[in-house]
Amino acid sequence: MSNDAILNKPAEAVVIHGDDHDGNGHHDHHHKETFISKYVFSMDHKMIAKQFLITGMIWAIIGGLFSVLFRLQLGYPNDTFPILESVLGKWAKGGKIQPEFYYALVTMHGTVLVFFVLTAGLSGTFANFLIPLQVGARDMASPFMNMLSYWFFLLASVVMISSLFVQTGPASGGWTSYPPLSALGGASEGSKTGMDLWLVSMALFVVSSLLGGLNYISTILNMRTKGMSMTRVPLTIWALFFTAVLGVLSFPVLLSGFILLLFDRHGGTSFYLSDIFVTGQGALPNEGGSAILYQHLFWFLGHPEVYIILLPAMGMVSEIMSVNARKPIFGYMAMIGSLFAITILAFLVWAHHMFVTGLNPFLGSVFVLLTLLIAVPSAIKVFNWLTTLWRGNIRFTPGMLFSIGFVSLFISGGLTGIFLGNSTLDIHLHDTYFVVAHFHIVMGVASFFGMFAGVYHWFPKMYGRYLNNTMAYIHFWVTLVGAYLIFWPMHYEGLAGMPRRYLDFSQWVSFNQFEGLNRFISIVSMIVFAVQLLFVFNFFYSIFKGRRVTTKNPWGSNSLEWTVPLRPGHGNWPGEIPEVHRWPYDYGKDGRDFIPQTEKVGANESAH
């Protein structure tokens, strides 16, 4: 559906909130939307974005709570907590978290945060919210598919949640679910029903992600408003575009890996299974499969997935940083180029997760080279962000603070990637806490910072109100300091070779020297978790009671989303979609604070 087709159907532009008519102007024929079509089965990209965001937040609380539980075990391996038994029953027999449950917790924590929060919650929210608003479209290319994308995600969520309640517990083979462990119910309780539900849920998730991704790509390519060439779209759009491309090309490979796993589990095939004897069950008939094949298929998505999570955060940070430094983003074309380079390289580095699987060392060396190449576009981005701050006139809005925090974390976590990408060091550091520290900082916390930055920055456009600043500042500072306190010392544990996914180190002579440190990390992580609840409270409180936004463009921003009414209806712009005449980063140009994209280029304006 082209823009014109939508333009000719003004009836679709329906007002969401009755009390905002003034901002919207009136249309010829209103038709009253029902509660169901407005809030539940909505096809408005803005509402779908909010649905993704709130579902993602619920998942984040659940996933965070899991981490609090297993940090409790790691921090206090010798203590018992009777209250846990009364809540969790047999999973915490005698007030101690049982090994099966511990592994289920880490598995679910990883799955939930990587896929349900940082993929769906982050890119689902902001791709939906920002793409039509920033490129100047009335909605997504296919609003219906977009709606389906959310509902498949919710369905995936329901299946995943239900796996928590089955008798044998949820999947517990790690978020990567390597077979044979994940293929053999006899090898682990979590590989019984829980694993099936996990696979079904993830398959549904892939469907959701593809429906969304195809929509994002076609909207960006086909539905930009007049004058909005690809070199005039904000960097958020470029980032979301590459994210969608990554997802569309790599999620199907993951799905194929899952389907083969399902066949191995129930169809008697031997894709991943060979020469296996399970204690208590005997020798299995499977021969000739390769367990490593799954890892190739998994990481062919698994590595791009890191960038699926990270790129939207990078895009939003670029945008927010430029707006609040009152300065153009430095090196716009270089930023696009580096996003592109990262996207290409993301497909060519997956085997760096597999240096110690018995991979051919020569193949390993190729992946070392390609992996470390990614550091070059990453470095370009960092230096461009730094230069964007240089000689700016910086406003520390909560969104800006989180953007600065993002860059700091991205530097810290990115540099440790140079350790792990180097196969020689990976031999020692593989599957230790060094890896945990690395990916939590660079992918987990950094992307969360990008997400928070986005929420604080675009909340006024989403709900027509501001979040409370004081709570925002507390949230930022505790989270930033806490993130470093939690993950920085973990590098040292990793250098000591302390393996991840151990629930108790007391019997190990080599790893028992960190008992006090583990407790410290646990305590900090619980404080940080509590502060996230403060954010959630702030979020929901501010939706209803926050300070009202009184101007269309509270941050003095150039991009198109700030030209829509305070509370835009379905269709976004009440009249015609504005035409675009310039790139979105004319801040501080020719002595003017900002020049919106909709303003024509003046006769004697300097070219950038």
Partner 1 sequence: MSTFFLIAILLLGFLVTFQIAKASEYVGILKGEKKNFEQNNRINGFLLLLFLVFGLIGVYWCNELLKGRILGESASEHGQKIDKMLYITIAVTGFVFVITQILLFWFAFRYQYKETRKAYFFSHDNKLELIWTVVPAIALSVLVGFGLYYWFGITGNAPKEAMVVEITGKQFNWIYRYPGKDQVFGKKYYRNISDVEDNALGLLWDDKAAQDDIQSDQTMYLVKDRPVKLIIGARDVIHDVGLVHFRMKMDAVPGTPTTMWFTPLYTTKEMKKMTDNPDFVYEISCDQICGKGHFSMRGVIEVVTQEEFDLWMAKQKPKYYAVFPDKDPANAKKDSTGTAAISLDTLKLTANK
Q: CB-wise, 150 or 594, nearer to partner 1?
A: 594
- Single residue of 392, 450, 565, 574 touching partner 1 by CB under 8 A: 392
**CB of 338 vs partner 1, minimal distance in Å:** 9
**CB of 339 vs partner 1, minimal distance in Å:** 14
519 binds partner 1 (CB under 8 A): no
- Region binding partner 1 by CB under 8 A among candidate stretches 34-42, 116-124, 202-210, 533-541: 533-541
Task: Tell which positions 220-279 bind partner 1, by CB under 8 A.
Answer: 273-279
What amino acid occupies position 111?
T
367 binds partner 1 (CB under 8 A): no
Residues β-bridged to residue 13? none
The single residue listed with the structure tokens 């901002």 is 23
**CB of 39 vs partner 1, minimal distance in Å:** 27
User: Do residues 163 and 201 make contact, with C-beta atoms less than 8 angstroms apart?
Assistant: yes
**Number of residues in contact with partner 1 under rule CB under 8 A:** 130
83 binds partner 1 (CB under 8 A): yes
Handedness of CA 267, 272, 277, 278 (dihedral sign): negative
327 binds partner 1 (CB under 8 A): yes
Residues β-bridged to residue 477? none
Task: Tell which positions 431-450 bind partner 1, by CB under 8 A.
Answer: 431-432
- Region binding partner 1 by CB under 8 A among candidate stretches 25-33, 50-58, 245-253, 331-339: 331-339
Q: From the centroid of its chain, how far is CA 513?
A: 34
- Region binding partner 1 by CB under 8 A among candidate stretches 31-39, 220-228, 401-409, 561-569: 401-409
408 binds partner 1 (CB under 8 A): yes
**CB of 485 vs partner 1, minimal distance in Å:** 8
Q: From the centroid of its chain, how far is CA 41?
A: 24
**CB of 30 vs partner 1, minimal distance in Å:** 35
Task: Tell which positions 415-434 bind partner 1, by CB under 8 A.
Answer: 415-416, 418-419, 422-425, 427-428, 430-432
558 binds partner 1 (CB under 8 A): no
**CB of 607 vs partner 1, minimal distance in Å:** 10
Compute the distance between CA of residue 547 and CA of residue 366 in angstroms, rounded to an integer.
Answer: 55
If phi > 0 it is left, if psi is from -120 to 50 it is alpha, else beta; for residue 169 that is left
Task: Tell which positions 180-209 bind partner 1, by CB under 8 A.
Answer: 180-181, 184, 187-189
Task: Tell which positions 277-306 bind partner 1, by CB under 8 A.
Answer: 277-279, 283, 287-292
CA dihedral 305, 461, 148, 294 (to 10 degrees): 10
369 binds partner 1 (CB under 8 A): yes
- Single residue of 26, 90, 501, 600 touching partner 1 by CB under 8 A: 501
165 binds partner 1 (CB under 8 A): no
Strands 587-589 and 592-594: antiparallel
Q: CB-wise, 121 or 315, nearer to partner 1?
A: 315
The single residue listed with the structure tokens 């880490």 is 106
Compute the distance between CA of residue 238 and CA of residue 226 in angstroms, rounded to an integer.
Answer: 18
95 binds partner 1 (CB under 8 A): no
18 binds partner 1 (CB under 8 A): no
540 binds partner 1 (CB under 8 A): no
User: Do residues 297 and 253 make contact, with C-beta atoms less than 8 angstroms apart?
Assistant: yes
Give the angle subtended at the CA of 346 by the CAs of 344 and 350, to the nearest 5°. Answer: 135
- Single residue of 12, 44, 100, 319 touching partner 1 by CB under 8 A: 100
Q: From the centroid of its chain, how far is CA 385?
A: 21
201 to 73, 187, 305, 375: CA distances (angstroms)? 28, 22, 17, 34
**CB of 362 vs partner 1, minimal distance in Å:** 8
**CB of 564 vs partner 1, minimal distance in Å:** 23
User: Do residues 60 and 113 make contact, with C-beta atoms less than 8 angstroms apart?
Assistant: yes
Give the angle subtended at the CA of 565 by the CAs of 560 and 569, to the nearest 5°. Answer: 105
Q: CB-wise, 222 or 513, nearer to partner 1?
A: 513
- Single residue of 157, 163, 172, 518 touching partner 1 by CB under 8 A: 172
372 binds partner 1 (CB under 8 A): yes
474 binds partner 1 (CB under 8 A): yes
| Burial category of 21 from C-beta neighbours within 10 Å (exposed 0-12, middle 13-18, buried 19 and up) | middle
Task: Tell which positions 105-134 bind partner 1, by CB under 8 A.
Answer: none
530 binds partner 1 (CB under 8 A): yes
Give the angle subtended at the CA of 292 by the CAs of 286 and 293, to the nearest 5°. Answer: 80
- Region binding partner 1 by CB under 8 A among candidate stretches 112-120, 173-181, 213-221, 246-254: 173-181
Encoded tokens for 46: 């803005």
- Single residue of 4, 5, 22, 361 touching partner 1 by CB under 8 A: 361
Report the residue count for the chain: 608
User: Do residues 576 and 560 make contact, with C-beta atoms less than 8 angstroms apart?
Assistant: no
Compute the distance between CA of residue 109 and CA of residue 98 in angstroms, rounded to an integer.
Answer: 16
- Kindly give, in sequence order, each residue whose CB lies less than 8 Å from that of residue 306, ignoring residues fewer than 6 positions away: 346, 439, 443
- Single residue of 144, 165, 537, 540 touching partner 1 by CB under 8 A: 537
88 binds partner 1 (CB under 8 A): no
353 binds partner 1 (CB under 8 A): no
**CB of 291 vs partner 1, minimal distance in Å:** 5
Q: CB-wise, 79 or 576, nearer to partner 1?
A: 79
- Single residue of 255, 310, 480, 528 touching partner 1 by CB under 8 A: 480
144 to 48, 129, 319: CA distances (angstroms)? 11, 15, 29
3-state secondary structure 510-555: CCHHHHHHHHHHHHHHHHHHHHHHHHHHHHHHHHHHCCECCCCCCC
**CB of 218 vs partner 1, minimal distance in Å:** 30
Count CB neighbours of 424 within 10 A: 11
- Give, as one character, the DSSP assignment of residue 278: E
Q: Write phi, then psi, for 583 (nearest 5 degrees).
A: -70, 165
379 binds partner 1 (CB under 8 A): yes
- Single residue of 380, 451, 483, 580 touching partner 1 by CB under 8 A: 380
**CB of 534 vs partner 1, minimal distance in Å:** 6
- Single residue of 373, 462, 536, 549 touching partner 1 by CB under 8 A: 373
533 binds partner 1 (CB under 8 A): yes
62 binds partner 1 (CB under 8 A): no
**Peptide bond connecting 180 to the previous residue in cis, omega within 30 degrees of 0:** yes
- Single residue of 492, 519, 543, 552 touching partner 1 by CB under 8 A: 492
Tell me the Cα Rg of the chain.
25
